[in-house]
Structure 1
């Protein structure tokens, strides 16, 4: 029986190798993240900003801005992705490059460390330090944020980052490997750079936003479900009440609504982009965030991450158990 079981395990080696790559990537992204300045996706973000400065003209018609956004996204994503995907196919040890790609795509997962530092700064009433720490992570204005605004911004980033980090990486790696994870992450990075609710990118970012709405619908829903089950029936009910903004549903707002429900706080509300005020839906599920609301949000996301890591580990173990029963 042992040789037969060993042979079955060998036949499924791709499954176990993929699980190991995923698990180590998730683990290292938490305990040994790259410094933000050294992250390739941050450099990609800078290129995207420069591209937008050159081709995004507000005086053009809406359709021209949409076309410019679509062509810019193609020009930024396709060449870089094609080169890396081609190199991945030619690599003698593709598992190593798959690990590197996943590790890079997961580096926003270390925002919980920044969130903890922001919480400490707010506890010490050092709002200037909190704003400085948040500035590289957000595209919205931070210089005028109050203590409540800083708490809200930190919590919202904390609970939405895993959608395109942990959850998308796990699902897309299972479906299409590291190449699909990279393509999805690059598209999401463009959306984070060209924020759809920023008036400056209202039409320019629309093609990327539409594509990401479809692409990240399942990861968003699964992450929202992972959050909602920790808040009981009330939070689960929020899962089925889409939050709309200007007639359009934003998955990030839905995620924030569920997190607000679980934490019993208020999130959302007005934001500023380049000095322009944008009114977003207030998510009233309790009082304004208090001093340790960020710490509670960190605990919430930590538990949810453990759920997903457990999923990554348990699936191959269950499969191996079924294989063993098959020959028993």
Structure 2
């Protein structure tokens, strides 16, 4: 037993994981000073310089080159810096700490629940605006509830589950590159005419990176109460949604609580039709609180499973 504990400490990967979580929850980085906020602003600035081609093909190529220009140097610098890093576990802890956004999504959940519960549409829109690419101003109170539910689900799935998954696969740099790619996909979202087709390469790459973690997390959310009902809805509705990663989660959680997900959205003043997913009840503050509690427990289970799996893979039973 002591030998295995010594191996665990010597390996550091699990200690880095829990250390980063502890630091992140106790001492979160302010949003305005977060490196990912700066990264996203730089991505938006770069797009104004290179997203100027007229033809569809040229803009697609520009988007691919822009993604490579943002990500490739990061990987090169990391590889070059490896021999100079005096404490690799501490460095990995820093990368994972920057990549996580658990506290940010939790704050979003609590603030939107409070605003919607008080029927304060202006405050709810102000809270949601930094998280959404769609137009927030036209949303009614019911629309704000639905947007909050979707943002909550996908926010936790990507900035917590996706980051943790890629940390387990490739260490701190894996989590860091995943989060950088996620921010590029958000900044250059082709849902907006301005970034279509420029943002398609970034979105495609992010969809690939999300495929395994979001599918596994969807299955974890599927287990438990209303399993058969949610599974039946998943089989029926998943074909209607283009992004299957998002669809699985939204359908399962929507059907678990009989909440309506999806539906029409407005980007840059243009209404875009989306299929309706999940149930039929428009999410209210109490439903948002239920989703938040449900996701928090599922993330806790994920952490236990990932920690156990990391120990088994590295040191055996």
TM-score by length of 1: 0.87
* Counterpart check, 1:46 vs 2:27: no
Match for residue 50 of structure 2 among 52, 55, 58? 55
Instruction: Report deviation, 1:127.
Output: 0.9
Work out whether residues 8 and 14 of structure 2, in 8 Å CA contact, stay in contact via their aligned partners in 1.
no
* Counterpart check, 1:141 vs 2:135: yes
* Counterpart check, 1:99 vs 2:85: no
Are the structure 2 counterparts of residues 88 and 298 from structure 1 closer, same or farther at C-alpha, using a change threshold of 3 Å? farther
Work out whether residues 106 and 166 of structure 1, in 8 Å CA contact, stay in contact via their aligned partners in 2.
yes
* SS of residue matched to 1:260: helix
* Counterpart check, 1:205 vs 2:199: yes
Work out whether residues 243 and 249 of structure 1, in 8 Å CA contact, stay in contact via their aligned partners in 2.
no
**Residue 29 of structure 2 corresponds to which residue in structure 1?**
34
**Residue 326 of structure 1 corresponds to which residue in structure 2?**
none
Q: Give CA-to-partner distance per residue, 1:62-114, whole Å, 9 cap, x none.
A: 21111010011111112234324533442111111111111111125521222
* Counterpart check, 1:21 vs 2:16: yes
List alignment gaps of at least 5 residues for structure 2: none
Are the structure 2 counterparts of residues 110 and 144 from structure 1 closer, same or farther at C-alpha, using a change threshold of 3 Å? same
**Residue 219 of structure 2 corresponds to which residue in structure 1?**
225
Q: Distance in 2 between matches of 1:282 and 1:253?
A: 10
> What CA RMSD, in Å, does the superposition of the two structures yield over aligned residues?
2.4
Match for residue 304 of structure 1 among 285, 298, 306? 298
* Counterpart check, 1:288 vs 2:282: yes
**Residue 188 of structure 1 corresponds to which residue in structure 2?**
182
**Residue 108 of structure 2 corresponds to which residue in structure 1?**
114
Q: Distance in 2 between matches of 1:189 and 1:244?
A: 26
Are the structure 2 counterparts of residues 142 and 63 from structure 1 closer, same or farther at C-alpha, using a change threshold of 3 Å? same
Q: Distance in 2 between matches of 1:181 and 1:164?
A: 11
Match for residue 253 of structure 1 among 247, 266, 269? 247
Are the structure 2 counterparts of residues 284 and 261 from structure 1 closer, same or farther at C-alpha, using a change threshold of 3 Å? closer
Work out whether residues 60 and 201 of structure 2, in 8 Å CA contact, stay in contact via their aligned partners in 1.
yes
* SS of residue matched to 1:283: strand
Instruction: Report deviation, 1:14.
Output: 4.9
Work out whether residues 20 and 93 of structure 2, in 8 Å CA contact, stay in contact via their aligned partners in 1.
yes
Work out whether residues 207 and 245 of structure 2, in 8 Å CA contact, stay in contact via their aligned partners in 1.
yes
Work out whether residues 235 and 258 of structure 1, in 8 Å CA contact, stay in contact via their aligned partners in 2.
yes
Work out whether residues 156 and 267 of structure 1, in 8 Å CA contact, stay in contact via their aligned partners in 2.
yes
List alignment gaps of at least 5 residues for structure 1: 324-328
Are the structure 2 counterparts of residues 134 and 261 from structure 1 closer, same or farther at C-alpha, using a change threshold of 3 Å? same
Are the structure 2 counterparts of residues 259 and 30 from structure 1 closer, same or farther at C-alpha, using a change threshold of 3 Å? farther
Q: Give CA-to-partner distance per residue, 1:25-58, whole Å, 9 cap, x none.
A: 234333432111111011111111112222223x
TM-score by length of 2: 0.90
Are the structure 2 counterparts of residues 290 and 175 from structure 1 closer, same or farther at C-alpha, using a change threshold of 3 Å? closer
Q: Distance in 1 between matches of 2:272 and 2:76?
A: 37
* Counterpart check, 1:277 vs 2:271: yes
**Residue 155 of structure 2 corresponds to which residue in structure 1?**
161
Instruction: Report deviation, 1:321.
Output: 9.8
Are the structure 2 counterparts of residues 275 and 319 from structure 1 closer, same or farther at C-alpha, using a change threshold of 3 Å? closer
Are the structure 2 counterparts of residues 250 and 68 from structure 1 closer, same or farther at C-alpha, using a change threshold of 3 Å? farther
* SS of residue matched to 1:216: helix
Instruction: Report deviation, 1:189.
Output: 1.1
Are the structure 2 counterparts of residues 281 and 212 from structure 1 closer, same or farther at C-alpha, using a change threshold of 3 Å? same
